[in-house]
Amino acid sequence: MNRIKKSLIIFGLLVLTLPVMVYFPNKGTNDITILLGWTAHIDRWGPLNAYSIINTNHDYESADYPPISFINLWLALKAAAIGNVTWMIGIKILILVYYLATWASLIYLSTFVRGRSIEMSTAVSSGLFLGGLYFVIISEAFSSMDITFAPFVVFSLVLFARRKYLISGICLALAILVKWIAMLMLPAFLFYFINKKGRWYRIDRFAMYKFFGGVMLIIGLLIIGFWLNHISLFSLVEALRRTFYRPNLAPPALNFIWIVTYLIKQIYPETYVGVIRNNTYLFQLISAVIFLLAGILILKSYLKRKKDIVSLLQTSLMISWSYFIWRTGVHENHLFITVLTALCLAVLNTNWSNIRLYLWLNFIGLANLVLFFGFPIREGSVLLPGSVGNIWGVNLAVLLAVFHILIYFVYLRRFLQFQYRSAAD
C-alpha cells in the first residue's frame, strides 16, 4: 500500500508540473520588457547602483520595486551568462527557481507546523499549490516577479509558528525588500503580540522586540550597504512613493475602483477622462479612508481572538484583500499576497472552509489575468472574444468585480462576527 501511495504521489506530481514545462517559454506581459530594461542598466552599473541611478535621475523611468529585486535580476543576468541563453530566459530561470522554492517551503510548512508525514505534506501542499494553477500561470505564463517574495513569507510563517521570532522577522524583512506588498502583513504580526484580558491589554514585549529586531536588522544592513557604497537613500523613498502613490486611478484589477470608473464612463461618456483626472485626489482620499476603516475593524476583531498562526493568517488575508478591494492604483498582481496567504491557511488547516476560500481567490486571481491579458498558451496567449475596451468586455469585467466584492463582504462579515469557522475546525 505504501508503494502504491508513493507511486500515486509521484504520478500526480508529474501531471501537476506539466504546466511549468508548457509555459516556461512564454514571454509574458509587457512587464518583461520593463524587467529587461532594468537588467540592461544592471549589466552596465551593477544592481544597487542601477537601482539608485534610475530612481534619482529623471532621464529614466523610476522603479517601484525594492532593491533586492534588482539583486535578483542581477542573479538572472549571471544565470543567462553561465547558461549562454538570453536575458529573458535567465529571468524565467530565476522565476522557476523561486517557484520551486515556494513549493518546497509549503511542504516544510505542512511538515514542521502541521506535523504531517513527509508523504502527506507533499501530497497536500503540492495538490493545493500546483493544482490551483494561479501560481504557475502568473509566474511562468505571465512572467510576474511576485513569486520571488513568496518563499520568504512562508519561511517566516514557519519560523514564527516555532517561536523563532528573530529569524522570522529577518525572513519577512527580506520578503518586503523583494516586493513592498509584503508590508501588508506587518500589522497582523504587530497585533499578534497584544492580548486582551478583560479590560487590559498585555504585550509580549520580549517576543515583539525579537521579531521586529530581525526586521530592523535587515533594513539597517541595507541602509549601511547603501551608505558604504555612496548610494542615495532617496532611491528607496522614490520607489516607495511610486508603489503607494499611483496617478492612474484604476489599472486592470477587478475591485471597487474598477466599478467606479465604469460608472463614470457611463454617466460622462464624452468627458470621463477629464472627470477622473480632476477628481483623482478625491477618489484616492476616499479609497484610503475606507481601507483604513476596514483595517481598524479587522485589527479590532483580531485583538479579541486567540493568537495563533491560523488567526495571524486570517487577519493578514483580510487586510491584504481589503487593500486590493478598496485602494486606487491597484494592479491585478496585487492579489498575489492574498492568494498566497489563503494557500498557507489551507495547507495548515486543510478543511473545506479554507480550501473553498483558496479556490475562490484562485478563480478571481485567474479571472483578473485572463480577462486583461488573455488565456495563456505555449509561447503566447489568446485574447478573449471581446476586449476590455468594448461593451461586452467591460460589462464582463464589472460583473466579475461585483462578484468579487460580494465574496469579500461575505468573508469580512464572517471574520468580524467570529463566524470564520476555519479557526475552530
The rounded distance, in Å, linking the Cα atoms of 142 and 40 is 20
Question: What is the arithmetic mean of pLDDT over 170-183?
Answer: 95
Higher-pLDDT residue of 317 and 120 is: 317
pLDDT at 158 over 70: yes
The rounded distance, in Å, linking the Cα atoms of 380 and 24 is 11
Residue recorded with cell 513549493: 103
Question: What is the arithmetic mean of pLDDT over 156-161?
Answer: 95
Q: What is the pTM of this model?
A: 0.91
Q: What percent of the chain has pLDDT over 70?
A: 90
- If pLDDT is split at 50, 70 and 90, which confidence band does 292 have? very high
The pLDDT value recorded for residue 7 is 66
User: Nearest Cα to 161, choosing from 122, 214, 108?
Assistant: 108
Question: For residue 369, what are the CA distances in angstroms to 125, 134, 180, 316, 366?
Answer: 23, 9, 21, 23, 5
The pLDDT value recorded for residue 248 is 65
Higher-pLDDT residue of 3 and 92 is: 92
Of 173-182, 190-199, 240-249, 274-283, minimum mean pLDDT range = 240-249
pLDDT at 388 over 60: no
The pLDDT value recorded for residue 342 is 96
Higher-pLDDT residue of 162 and 4 is: 162
The pLDDT value recorded for residue 258 is 86
User: Could you write out the three-class secondary structure of the chain?
Assistant: CHHHHHHHHHHHHHHHCHHHHHHCCCCCCCHHHHHHHHHHHHHHHCHHHHHHHHHHCCCCCCCCCCHHHHHHHHHHHHHHHHHCCCHHHHHHHHHHHHHHHHHHHHHHHHHHCCCCCHHHHHHHHHHHHHHCCHHHHHHHHCCCHHHHHHHHHHHHHHHHHCCCHHHHHHHHHHHHHHCHHHHHHHHHHHHHCEEEECCEEEECHHHHHHHHHHHHHHHHHHHHHHHHCCCCCHHHHHHHHHHHCCCCCCCCCCCHHHHHHHHHHHHCCCCHHHHHHHCHHHHHHHHHHHHHHHHHHHHHHHHCCCCCHHHHHHHHHHHHHHHHHHCCCCCHHHHHHHHHHHHHHHHHCCCHHHHHHHHHHHHHHHHHHHHHHCEEECCEEECCCCCCCCHHHHHHHHHHHHHHHHHHHHHHHHHHCCCCHHHCC
pLDDT at 230 over 70: yes
pLDDT at 420 over 70: no
The pLDDT value recorded for residue 384 is 65
The rounded distance, in Å, linking the Cα atoms of 217 and 234 is 20
The rounded distance, in Å, linking the Cα atoms of 374 and 366 is 10
The rounded distance, in Å, linking the Cα atoms of 328 and 250 is 6
The pLDDT value recorded for residue 394 is 55
Residue recorded with cell 477587478: 254
Question: What is the arithmetic mean of pLDDT over 379-384?
Answer: 68
Backbone angles phi, psi at 58, to 5 degrees: -70, -10
The pLDDT value recorded for residue 406 is 95
Question: What is the arithmetic mean of pLDDT over 369-385?
Answer: 74
CB 188 within 8 A of CB 316: yes
- If pLDDT is split at 50, 70 and 90, which confidence band does 129 have? very high
Question: What is the arithmetic mean of pLDDT over 276-286?
Answer: 83
Higher-pLDDT residue of 403 and 329 is: 403
Question: What is the arithmetic mean of pLDDT over 395-415?
Answer: 90
**86: exposed, middle or buried (C-beta count within 10 Å: 0-12, 13-18, 19+)?**
exposed
Q: How far is CA 390 from its chain centroid?
A: 29
The pLDDT value recorded for residue 291 is 95
CB 324 within 8 A of CB 330: yes
The pLDDT value recorded for residue 55 is 85
- If pLDDT is split at 50, 70 and 90, which confidence band does 247 have? low
The rounded distance, in Å, linking the Cα atoms of 292 and 119 is 43
Work out the mean pLDDT of the chain and round it to a whole number: 86
Higher-pLDDT residue of 147 and 397 is: 147
What is the signed CA dihedral for 238, 240, 243, 247, rounded to 10 degrees?
Answer: -50
What is the signed CA dihedral for 265, 271, 277, 280, rounded to 10 degrees?
Answer: -40
Question: What is the arithmetic mean of pLDDT over 278-286?
Answer: 84
The pLDDT value recorded for residue 391 is 47
78: which residues sit within 8 A by CB, 6+ positions away?
Answer: 90
- If pLDDT is split at 50, 70 and 90, which confidence band does 423 have? very low
